[in-house]
């Protein structure tokens, strides 16, 4: 670099920058108000839609001139470390949407359409996809976002709230977003992490023969060394105090391919139960290591991210007898899955590359997620009319979602999906789980719905939500004013 | 140096023009991450490209910066936003110095162990100690409102201006630092440590300084990442993968080139999006999302190889070559070639001969 | 001895007398006392001691592996001797740190060129002036006045040196792309940019063409005479050594076998033994013009023996 | 005490698993000075290929040789297509190239075999055997044995075959080797192929341990500290380093980690390696280079 010319240049650049800065500030001040309509995206998304539309072979998606469509933007992930979950979930989701189109011609006459954008479970990719998909598709407004990723959901909280787009984090996400007063657009449907451990505790109590029997018992939580893994530590401590059992939290560093030390510790501690809050490869390795150290698999209880076939099969024989929770039993016998088979799969339109995985845990999660989204749209249509709805209107639909057994029967999802009733203040609803056991081949249900002590958890959640509101300067909604 | 300025100006002009055409999507998904990553790349380039110390810990320093700024901002309410940016960067540079200490003894690839240790330790510490994330149950921090001099920069455009301002300022400072005696010390250490030592370059202090400055830049990039881009960040979001991403930026852009950091960042940010759009458009979905993504991985990897094989000095070099070609056609004189005849030499030799004669007569 | 010989010998004689007087005036600039150094058990340098007077050109000669470079490395602080002492300008040290040496004004070139390949000629030289930097890195980053004045001063100094080594035209060329001979010169320039009191040159003429050697030799002389820099150099080419140096130290297998004025040394039997059978005409063939006759006469063992 | 031994032995065995991955690095680095970060991807690729073949109802005895051949091919291919074009580039550049390679290999293996998670049974029960109250995993013992065989085989190749001798010559002094008429590219190709085989062995064992899935490529992170403590160029060093890392990280996790809230296994090996380097800047068995100026 021949530097002797560059001093003067620098002087010039400094000046230029100064002027520029002023110009920018001024521009920024006025530009900040307006928000131009997307040119690039509008140009690009139709193509994208056709693409993944035809990929998903959705007749509606590729139908031109759609004036009467409701759009589902799918931030899917089909590659990378968590692809197994993504393909299953979004496969089930898409297949259910296809079913609704094929069988009922959409929701209240409004066709459902969707397009995919690969996030690879990476936060900024998810953000990029959100920004790309949020304008909707050929004028079809987007109903709700379902990123199935805690990280992405977090990054979307502010954006979605300003853009008025519901974010569905079914069975996961930020616990305190249950408080809809502070998080108007975030929906940790069915089960937040706190409810999860609470319900697990109740199940253990049941197995031990009553809550009072918990006293003096030893329980270990083996958790993934990540925010997700640590999230339930405080709640478990509270529960332990309440019921008088001992709890030991043991961390497995990401990714969790090595757990020798942890399981030796567990063996030394001699707990009666191990709650496994695993993630990806950590789960099979946990089961393997448990076997290595002679801990019985049927006293390990996997949580919502340790409960899929993909989590057990790699462990082979070591997985036999392993227990796990679920909000949506695996299997294809449920009428709704049969319907999907009849109207979608049998017509060769199924989204799954591997048809064997239809009815798997992740697939069924996708299906019930589809049901909940569609039901929310239907509910909203009752109020706003049978037309494509904005995110804000769909939000209302979610907040007034109320699915009872009767409705579940109509949906053909009795036993697959739990009763769920949301409200302005409660964005979770269900809080119930069932337990399944791995027989070496597939999951067998071993319990009916078991509920969490949601009243016990509520204050903790509200406290955390209030803290967040304070941090961000948010004034919580007054739900009595919501209609 | 001279080859760095025109791209810089071009960039500034582009940046100025951007808001006239760009929309939310471009700000939120392309421009802001581009400038943020470019800054991180610049940070790493100072350490690796200029001072020759290979580092795989950039993301860790970004994380430190982000969490530090968050906590300063949270716990000292009256602190102005930009001040917390700076403090975030300074904290990062302290951590950087700490993990730079081994560079006194450890050289070459062995040194990556130090930065990798930083990478994993920082991530662990930030997840482990809830205090860092203000006891957020999920250990995630969320950005405060971005108010600078009473102006609210929270809108996409606002965040863009804020990012642009910070990045532009720091870039200028970096270019002038790297053209200064300090910058030459960095490069001396990189090119021939022993020679530098016998010339009185304080090797250890120079290396530590490189670590400090580099981490400062990465730290501020981390703050922008958390505050201006995502509005939130969890330790896992700034893991080894990110460090590699930053490394790719400077490899593709050009080691030891300020402009390269920007070119590389542009490449890294735009390529996936571009490939995605192209694939959707051209292949008309004959490929499902999964394979599409794999295809992207393949293309990306191949491009990296292509660069290393064809143009090891990166995009920056390509640009220079191009501009040289143009310039040479326009004003051939300004570019002395290495093969220039050594006329001066004989002249000076003559001069010396006279000198000797005088001296002998005396 | 012909006029040719005189013209060759004269300078050394003259400067020798000058040195004598100066060393009379004060202590020698550099004195090595019984320096020993070994690598992996092998004694590379064995209790070597000699003095370099102010303003003189002292040549360190000897066959390969005699320990010449090792001594230079000891003086510049790259190696740390096991025993002995280095006295520079009256300051006694058991070993020197490179930084200290640099601050004392000891600067050097290397046997195998050790330039900063990634930088331009000018930047290489500028790095030579690094010790004269006053401003802090922050001032540099912000381009504050002190930084600018540093820049100006250092560039001025470097411009001078560039003129001296005749590379003004190549100042912005990337040094890696220069031909070998020029690189050698750049390295000398880098050392000169530090305004040294003692200049250590490790085989400055190695691998050069005749003309390059001549230019380099004149360059070295002019540095010594014009800038008054004391020079300690290593060279194999006896001819050049005889012409250039006021004072020659001969090493062999880590020992000092001779020390004195060139014409004396080259008649020393030990030196002749050490060099017997070693053919120097090839290398001295490189020495231009007048120098050759003297040097070959002086250095060729046969000739020396006759005289003896 | 018994517990201590359990942890220790478990750690040592785990260490062997790390070494197995690290050896792949060493081979290539020794022969061609390339710091091959793609080794992890190669591990993933090999295991994925094998499993997918078996799942397509191929008998293991057929699948294994096919996979083996694939890995050999891959190794040679990499040398041909990539490294041959990067001769005389800085180590840094070569390192980068292998990063690019790992992208390609990962992308290719998933495009080829999909992203599902697979189980892998080698027919070795993973039940613990109890020796005086100390549980030891059969599988890990088997793995250790395999590693031993592999190292033995490697040293045989290195000492008995012409290739091995050529390899050693190249490692010592490429130029001298060249002057002896040894074809560097051929040797490099061979080394990459061998590294591919090593990756296969590691892939199968790790795959059986953790299941075959994307994160298999992450085992690299476990191998790096081993590689560094071992000093990049010595297979024996790598084994020793592996044992050190394995044992110390497990003991640290149990005895130190509990004080710090656990989960320190992720970074402990690196800090350990750092400690080693500060004492011995070129690792336990790496050659220190004398400064010649």
Identify the CA nearest to A311 among candidates A360, A265, A359.
Answer: A360
D293/C110 CB distance under 8 A: yes
Pairing state between β A218-224 and A186-187: unpaired
pLDDT band at C299 (very low <50, low <70, confident <90, very high): very low
Quick one: average pLDDT of A322-339? 95
What's the sign of the alpha-carbon dihedral A300, A303, A309, A310?
A: negative
| pLDDT tens digits along A338-355 | 999 999 999 988 888 888
Alpha-carbon span A340 to A260, nearest angstrom: 43
Which residue among B188, B200, B360 places its CB closest to the CB of C102? B200
Which token pair is B328? 């040479």
| Residues in chain D closer than 8 A to A265 (CB atoms) | 254, 258
Task: Check residue A424 and give its pLDDT.
Answer: 94
Asked if the C-beta of C226 comes within 8 angstroms of chain B's C-beta atoms, the answer is: yes
Question: Does the structure show a pLDDT above 90 at C243?
Answer: no
Residue identified by tokens 């730290």 is B219
pLDDT band at B197 (very low <50, low <70, confident <90, very high): very high
Q: How many CB atoms lie within 10 A of CB C97?
A: 12
* DSSP reduced 3-state for C84: strand
| Residues in chain B closer than 8 A to A118 (CB atoms) | 276, 289-290, 292-293
Q: Which of D287, D290, D293 to mutate to test the interface with C (most CBs of C within 10 A)?
A: D293
Asked if the C-beta of B358 comes within 8 angstroms of chain C's C-beta atoms, the answer is: no
HEC letters along A5-37 = HHHHHHHHHHHHHHHHHHHHHHHHHHHCCCCCC
| pLDDT tens digits along C90-107 | 999 999 999 999 999 999
Q: Which of A230, A256, A260, A294 to mutate to test the interface with D (most CBs of D within 10 A)?
A: A260
More confident residue, A302 or A35: A302
pTM (predicted TM-score): 0.86
Domain ranges (residues) in chain B: 5-237
Residues of chain B numbered 164-193 and touching chain C (CB < 8 Å): 173-174, 176-177, 180-185, 187-188, 190-192
Mean pLDDT, chain B, whole residue set: 83
Q: Tell me how many degrees the CA angle C176-C178-C181 measures, rounded to the nearest 5.
A: 120
Q: Chain D: list its partners (3+ Cβ pairs within 8 Å).
A: A, B, C
| pLDDT tens digits along C171-192 | 999 998 889 889 999 999 999 9
Is residue A208 within a helix (H) or strand (E), and if so which, with residue range?
Answer: helix A193-208
Domain ranges (residues) in chain A: 40-191+331-430, 194-326
Quick one: average pLDDT of A197-203? 96
Phi, psi of B336 (to 5 degrees): -60, 130
Question: Does the structure show a pLDDT above 80 at A59?
Answer: no
D293/C39 CB distance under 8 A: no
DSSP C136-200: -HHHHHHT-HHHHHHHHHHHHHHHHHHHHHT-GGGTTSBGGGS-HHHHHHHHHHHHHHT--SEEE
Residues of chain A numbered 63-82 and touching chain B (CB < 8 Å): 76, 78-80
DSSP D21-55: HHHHHHHHHHHH----TTHHHHHHHHHHHHHHHHH
| Closest Cα in chain B, distance from residue D93 (Å) | 7
> Which residues does D186 contact at the CB level (< 8 Å), separation at least 6?
none
Least confident among B279-293, B335-349, C198-212: B335-349
Residues of chain B numbered 227-286 and touching chain C (CB < 8 Å): 256
Alpha-carbon span C54 to B95, nearest angstrom: 49
Q: Which CATH number fits domain A40-191+331-430: 3.40.50.10240, 1.10.760.10, 1.20.1060.10, 3.40.50.2300?
A: 3.40.50.2300
D293/C73 CB distance under 8 A: yes
Q: Chain C: list its partners (3+ Cβ pairs within 8 Å).
A: A, B, D
C78/D291 CB distance under 8 A: yes
| pLDDT tens digits along A450-470 | 999 999 999 999 999 998 898
Q: Domain spanning A194-326 has what CATH number?
A: 3.40.50.2300
Task: Check residue A35 and give its pLDDT.
Answer: 33
More confident residue, A174 or A183: A183
Alpha-carbon span D210 to A316, nearest angstrom: 10
Question: Does the structure show a pLDDT above 70 at A40?
Answer: no
Q: Which residues of chain D have pLDDT under 70?
A: 287-293
Quick one: average pLDDT of A366-371? 97
Identify the CA nearest to D34 among candidates A473, C213, C83, B109.
Answer: B109
| Residues in chain D closer than 8 A to C69 (CB atoms) | 293
> Which residues does C226 contact at the CB level (< 8 Å), separation at least 6?
B355
Q: Which of A79, A89, A227, A292 to mutate to test the interface with D (most CBs of D within 10 A)?
A: A292
Alpha-carbon span D195 to B143, nearest angstrom: 47
Task: Check residue A433 and give its pLDDT.
Answer: 95
Do C83 and C33 form a contact (C-beta atoms < 8 A)? Answer: no
Do A434 and A326 form a contact (C-beta atoms < 8 A)? Answer: yes
Which residue among B105, B291, B305 places its CB closest to the CB of D100? B305
Quick one: average pLDDT of B141-150? 86
| Closest Cα in chain D, distance from residue A75 (Å) | 17
Alpha-carbon span B325 to B330, nearest angstrom: 9
Q: Which of C102, C140, C163 to mutate to test the interface with B (most CBs of B within 10 A)?
A: C140
* DSSP reduced 3-state for D174: helix
Identify the CA nearest to A353 among candidates C231, B115, B290.
Answer: B290
Quick one: average pLDDT of B297-322? 83
Q: Chain B: list its partners (3+ Cβ pairs within 8 Å).
A: A, C, D
| pLDDT tens digits along D192-239 | 999 999 999 999 999 998 888 888 888 888 899 999 898 888 888 999
| Residues in chain D closer than 8 A to B240 (CB atoms) | 221
Task: Check residue A24 and give its pLDDT.
Answer: 45
Least confident among A62-71, B77-86, B315-324, C283-292: C283-292
Asked if the C-beta of D262 comes within 8 angstroms of chain A's C-beta atoms, the answer is: yes
Burial of A356 from C-beta contacts in 10 A (0-12 / 13-18 / 19+): exposed
Which token pair is B327? 């310039």
Q: Domain spanning C11-105+198-283 has what CATH number?
A: 3.40.50.300
| Closest Cα in chain C, distance from residue B195 (Å) | 6
Alpha-carbon span A391 to D180, nearest angstrom: 74
Q: How far is CA B345 from the centre of its chain?
A: 41
Alpha-carbon span A92 to D68, nearest angstrom: 37
ipTM: 0.84
HEC letters along chain B = CCCCHHHHHHHHHHHHHHHHHCCHHHHHHHHHHHHHHHHHHHHHHHHHHHCCCCCCCHHHHHHHHHHHHHHHHHHCCCCCHHHHHHHHHHHHHHHHHHHHHHHHCCCHHHHHHHHHHHHHHHHHHHHHCHHHHCCCCCCCEECCCCEECCEECCCHHHHHHHHHHHHHHHHHHHHHHHCCHHHHHHHHHHHCHHHHHHCCCCHHHHHHHHHHHHHHHHHHHHHHHHHHHHCEECHHHHCHHHHHHHHHHHHHHCCCCHHHHHHHHHHHHHHHHHHHHHHHHHHCCCCCHHHHHHHHHHHHHHHHHHHHHHCCCHHHHHHHHHHHHHHHHHCHHHCCCCCCCCHHHHHHHHHHHHHHHHHHHC
Residues of chain B numbered 136-155 and touching chain A (CB < 8 Å): 136-140, 142-145, 151-153, 155
Do A219 and A228 form a contact (C-beta atoms < 8 A)? Answer: no
Q: Chain A: list its partners (3+ Cβ pairs within 8 Å).
A: B, C, D
More confident residue, C177 or C123: C123
| pLDDT tens digits along B305-317 | 888 888 777 888 8
Question: Does the structure show a pLDDT above 90 at C298?
Answer: no
Kindly identify which residue of chain B lies nearest to residue D33, measuring between CA atoms: B109
A47/B281 CB distance under 8 A: yes
| Closest Cα in chain B, distance from residue D55 (Å) | 20
pLDDT band at A220 (very low <50, low <70, confident <90, very high): very high
Which residue among C151, C171, C172 places its CB closest to the CB of A7? C151
Question: Does the structure show a pLDDT above 60 at A53?
Answer: no
Pairing state between β C106-108 and C198-202: parallel
Q: How many CB atoms lie within 10 A of CB A26?
A: 10
Quick one: average pLDDT of B112-130? 91
Question: Does the structure show a pLDDT above 80 at A193?
Answer: yes
Kindly identify which residue of chain C lies nearest to residue B339, measuring between CA atoms: C178
Kindly identify which residue of chain C lies nearest to residue B184, measuring between CA atoms: C127
More confident residue, B306 or A47: B306
Q: How many CB atoms lie within 10 A of CB A158?
A: 17
Task: Check residue B285 and give its pLDDT.
Answer: 54
Quick one: average pLDDT of B39-60? 95
Kindly identify which residue of chain A lies nearest to residue C126, measuring between CA atoms: A3
Question: Does the structure show a pLDDT above 50 at A119?
Answer: yes
Task: Check residue B284 and give its pLDDT.
Answer: 55
| pLDDT tens digits along A386-399 | 999 999 999 999 99
Phi, psi of A243 (to 5 degrees): -100, 0
Residue A237 Cα distances to A157, A234, D262, angstroms: 28, 5, 17
Asked if the C-beta of A268 comes within 8 angstroms of chain D's C-beta atoms, the answer is: yes
b/e sequence A459-479, b meaning 16+ C-beta within 10 Å = ebbbebbbbbbeeeebebbee
Which residue among B22, B145, B232 places its CB closest to the CB of A154? B232
Alpha-carbon span A450 to A458, nearest angstrom: 18
Mean pLDDT, chain C, whole residue set: 80
Domain ranges (residues) in chain C: 11-105+198-283, 115-195
Question: Does the structure show a pLDDT above 80 at A366?
Answer: yes
> Which residues does C100 contact at the CB level (< 8 Å), separation at least 6?
C77, C93
Residue A243 Cα distances to A23, A211, A212, A455, angstroms: 64, 7, 7, 16
A218 beta partners: A246
Quick one: average pLDDT of C197-219? 90
Do C28 and C54 form a contact (C-beta atoms < 8 A)? Answer: yes
Question: Does the structure show a pLDDT above 50 at B27?
Answer: yes
Question: Does the structure show a pLDDT above 50 at B145?
Answer: yes
Burial of C258 from C-beta contacts in 10 A (0-12 / 13-18 / 19+): buried
Domain ranges (residues) in chain D: 19-216
């Amino acid at each position: 670099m021949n530097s002797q010319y560059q001093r003067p240049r620098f002087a010039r650049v400094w000046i230029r920058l100064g002027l520029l800065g002023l110009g920018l500030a001024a521009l920024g001040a006025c530009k900040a108000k307006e928000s131009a309509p997307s040119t690039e995206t509008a140009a690009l998304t139709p193509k994208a839609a056709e693409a993944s539309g035809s990929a998903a072979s959705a007749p509606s998606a590729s139908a031109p001139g759609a004036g009467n469509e409701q759009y589902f933007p799918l931030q899917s992930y089909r590659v990378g470390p968590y692809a197994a979950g993504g393909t299953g979930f979004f496969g089930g989701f898409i297949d259910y949407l296809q079913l609704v189109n094929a069988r009922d011609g959409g929701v209240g006459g409004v066709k459902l359409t969707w397009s995919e954008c690969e996030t690879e479970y990476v936060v900024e990719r998810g953000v990029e996809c959100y920004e790309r998909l949020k304008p909707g598709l050929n004028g079809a407004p987007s109903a709700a976002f379902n990123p199935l990723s805690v990280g992405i959901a977090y990054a979307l909280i502010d954006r979605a709230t300003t853009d008025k787009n519901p974010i569905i984090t079914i069975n996961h996400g930020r616990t305190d977003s249950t408080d809809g007063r502070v998080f108007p657009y975030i929906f940790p449907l069915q089960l937040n992490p706190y409810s999860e451990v609470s319900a697990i505790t109740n199940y253990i109590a049941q197995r031990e023969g009553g809550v009072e029997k918990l006293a003096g018992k030893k329980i270990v939580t083996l958790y993934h060394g990540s925010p997700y893994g640590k999230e339930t530590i405080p709640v478990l401590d509270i529960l332990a105090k309440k019921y008088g059992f001992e709890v030991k939290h043991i961390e497995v560093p990401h990714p969790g391919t090595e757990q020798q030390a942890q399981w030796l510790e567990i063996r030394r501690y001699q707990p009666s139960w191990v709650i496994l809050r695993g993630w990806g490869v950590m789960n099979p390795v946990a089961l393997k290591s448990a076997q290595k150290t002679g801990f019985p698999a049927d006293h390990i209880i996997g949580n919502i991210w340790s409960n899929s076939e993909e989590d057990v099969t790699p462990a082979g024989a070591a997985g036999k007898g392993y227990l796990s929770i679920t909000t949506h039993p695996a299997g294809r016998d449920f009428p709704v899955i049969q319907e999907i088979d009849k109207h979608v799969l049998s017509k060769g339109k199924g989204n799954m590359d591997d048809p064997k995985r239809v009815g798997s845990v992740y697939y069924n999660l996708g299906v019930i997620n589809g049901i909940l989204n569609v039901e929310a749209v239907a509910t909203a249509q009752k109020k706003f009319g049978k037309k494509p709805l904005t995110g804000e209107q769909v939000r209302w639909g979610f907040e007034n979602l109320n699915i009872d057994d009767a409705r579940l029967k109509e949906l053909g999802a009795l036993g697959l999906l739990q009763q769920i009733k949301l409200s302005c203040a409660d964005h979770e609803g269900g809080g119930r789980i069932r337990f399944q056991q791995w027989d070496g081949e597939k999951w067998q249900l071993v319990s009916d719905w078991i509920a969490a002590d949601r009243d016990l958890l509520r204050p903790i959640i509200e406290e955390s939500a209030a803290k967040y509101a304070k941090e961000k300067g948010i004034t919580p909604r007054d739900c009595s004013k919501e209609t | 140096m001279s080859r760095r300025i025109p791209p810089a100006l071009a960039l500034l002009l582009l940046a100025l023009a951007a808001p006239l055409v760009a929309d939310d999507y471009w700000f939120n998904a392309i421009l802001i991450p581009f400038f943020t990553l470019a800054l991180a790349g610049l940070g790493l380039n100072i350490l690796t490209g200029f001072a020759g110390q290979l580092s795989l810990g950039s993301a860790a320093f970004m994380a430190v910066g982000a969490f530090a700024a968050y906590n300063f901002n949270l716990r000292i309410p009256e602190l102005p936003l930009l001040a917390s940016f700076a403090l975030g960067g300074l904290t990062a540079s302290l951590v950087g110095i700490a993990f730079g200490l081994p560079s006194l003894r450890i050289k070459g690839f062995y040194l990556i162990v130090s930065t990798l240790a930083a990478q994993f330790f920082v991530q662990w510490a930030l997840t482990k100690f809830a205090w860092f994330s203000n006891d957020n149950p999920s250990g995630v921090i969320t950005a405060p409102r971005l108010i600078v001099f009473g102006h609210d920069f929270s809108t996409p455009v606002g965040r863009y201006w804020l990012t642009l301002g910070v990045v532009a300022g720091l870039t200028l400072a970096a270019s002038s630092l790297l053209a200064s005696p300090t910058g030459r010390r960095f490069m001396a250490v990189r090119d021939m440590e022993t020679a530098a030592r016998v010339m009185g370059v304080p090797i250890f202090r120079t290396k530590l300084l490189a670590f400090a400055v580099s981490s400062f830049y990465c730290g501020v990039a981390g703050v922008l990442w958390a505050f201006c881009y995502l509005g939130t960040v969890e330790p896992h979001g700034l893991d080894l993968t990110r460090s590699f991403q930053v490394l790719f930026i400077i490899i593709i852009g050009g080691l030891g080139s300020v402009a390269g950091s920007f070119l590389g960042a542009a490449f890294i940010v735009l390529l996936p999006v571009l490939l995605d759009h192209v694939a959707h458009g051209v292949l008309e979905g004959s490929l499902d999302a999964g394979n599409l993504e794999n295809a992207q991985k393949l293309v990306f990897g191949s491009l990296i190889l292509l660069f290393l094989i064809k143009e090891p000095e990166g995009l920056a070099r390509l640009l220079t070559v191009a501009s040289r070609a143009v310039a040479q056609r326009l004003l051939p004189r300004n570019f002395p070639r290495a093969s220039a005849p050594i006329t001066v030499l004989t002249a000076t030799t003559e001069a010396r001969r006279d000198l000797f004669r005088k001296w002998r007569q005396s | 001895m012909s006029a040719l010989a005189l013209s060759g010998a004269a300078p050394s004689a003259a400067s020798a007398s000058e040195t004598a007087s100066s060393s009379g005036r004060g202590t020698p600039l550099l004195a090595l006392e019984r320096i020993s150094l070994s690598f992996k058990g092998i004694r590379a340098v064995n209790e070597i001691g000699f003095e370099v007077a102010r303003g003189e050109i002292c040549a360190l000669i000897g066959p390969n592996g005699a320990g010449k470079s090792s001594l230079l490395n000891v003086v510049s602080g790259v190696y740390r001797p096991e025993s002995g002492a280095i006295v520079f300008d009256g300051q006694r040290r058991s070993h020197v740190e490179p930084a200290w040496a640099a601050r004392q004004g000891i600067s050097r070139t290397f046997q195998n060129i050790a330039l900063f390949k990634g930088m331009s000629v000018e930047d290489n030289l500028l790095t030579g002036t690094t010790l004269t930097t006053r401003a802090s890195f922050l001032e540099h980053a912000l381009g504050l006045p002190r930084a600018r004045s540093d820049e100006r001063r250092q560039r001025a100094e470097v411009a001078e040196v560039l003129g001296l080594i005749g590379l003004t035209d190549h100042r912005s060329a990337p040094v890696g792309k220069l031909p070998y001979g020029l690189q050698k010169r750049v390295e000398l320039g880098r050392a000169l940019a530090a305004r040294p009191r003692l200049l250590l040159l490790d085989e400055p003429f190695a691998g050069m063409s005749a003309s390059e050697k001549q230019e380099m030799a004149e360059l070295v002389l002019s540095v010594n005479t014009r800038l008054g820099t004391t020079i300690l150099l290593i060279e194999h080419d006896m001819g050049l050594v005889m012409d250039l140096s006021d004072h020659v130290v001969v090493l062999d297998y880590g020992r000092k076998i001779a020390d004195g004025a060139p014409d004396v040394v080259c008649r020393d039997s030990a030196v002749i033994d050490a060099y017997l059978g070693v053919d120097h005409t090839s290398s001295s063939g490189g020495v231009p013009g007048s120098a050759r006759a003297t040097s070959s006469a002086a250095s060729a063992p046969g000739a020396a023996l006759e005289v003896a | 005490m018994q517990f201590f031994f359990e942890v220790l032995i478990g750690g040592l065995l785990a260490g062997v698993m790390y070494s197995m991955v690290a050896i792949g690095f060493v081979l290539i680095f020794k022969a061609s000075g390339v710091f091959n970060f793609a080794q992890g991807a190669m591990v993933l690729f090999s295991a994925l290929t094998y499993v997918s073949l078996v799942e397509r109802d191929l008998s293991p005895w057929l699948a294994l040789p096919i996979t083996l051949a694939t890995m050999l091919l891959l190794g040679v291919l990499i040398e041909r297509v990539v490294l041959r074009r990067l001769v005389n580039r800085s180590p840094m550049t070569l390192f980068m190239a292998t990063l690019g390679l790992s992208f390609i290999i990962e992308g290719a293996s998933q495009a080829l075999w999909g992203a599902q998670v697979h189980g892998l049974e080698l027919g070795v029960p993973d039940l613990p055997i109890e020796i005086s109250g100390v549980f030891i995993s059969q599988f890990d013992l088997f793995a250790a044995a395999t590693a031993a065989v592999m190292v033995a085989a490697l040293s045989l190749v290195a000492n008995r075959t012409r290739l091995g001798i050529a390899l050693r010559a190249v490692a010592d002094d490429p130029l001298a080797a060249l002057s002896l008429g040894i074809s560097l590219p051929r040797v490099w190709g061979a080394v990459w192929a061998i590294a591919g085989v090593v990756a296969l062995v590691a892939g199968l064992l790790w795959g059986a341990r953790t299941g075959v899935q994307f994160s298999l490529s992450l085992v690299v992170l476990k191998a790096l500290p081993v590689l560094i403590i071992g000093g990049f160029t010595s297979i024996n060093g790598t084994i020793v380093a592996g044992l050190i890392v394995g044992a110390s990280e497990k003991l640290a996790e149990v005895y130190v980690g509990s004080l710090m809230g656990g989960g320190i296994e992720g970074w402990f090996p690196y800090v350990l390696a750092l400690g080693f380097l500060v004492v011995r800047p070129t690792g336990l068995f790496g050659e220190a280079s004398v400064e010649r100026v």
